[in-house]
Amino acid sequence: MTPNRDCPPCLEPPPALLLEGIAQFNRGEFFEQHETLETLWRAERREVRRLYQGILQIGVAFHHLGRLNHHGTVSMLRRGSTHLRRFPPVCQGVNVAALLAAADRALTEVERLGPEGLGGFDWRLAPRVELVGRRE
Per-residue pLDDT reduced to its tens digit, 41-92: 999 999 999 999 999 999 999 999 999 999 999 999 999 999 999 999 999 9
Please state which of the four CATH numbers 1.10.10.10, 3.30.230.70, 3.40.190.80, 1.10.3450.10 is assigned to the domain occupying 13-125.
1.10.3450.10
- 3-state SS class at 112: helix
- Which DSSP helix (H) or strand (E) runs through 77? helix 70-84
Residues 6 or more apart whose Cβ sits within 8 Å of residue 36: 17, 20, 21, 24
Cβ atoms of 126 and 62 closer than 8 Å? yes
The reported pTM is 0.92
pLDDT tens sequence across 12-44: 999 999 999 999 999 999 999 999 999 999 999
Gap between the Cα atoms of 27 and 102, Å rounded: 16
pLDDT tens sequence across 91-115: 999 999 999 999 999 999 999 999 9
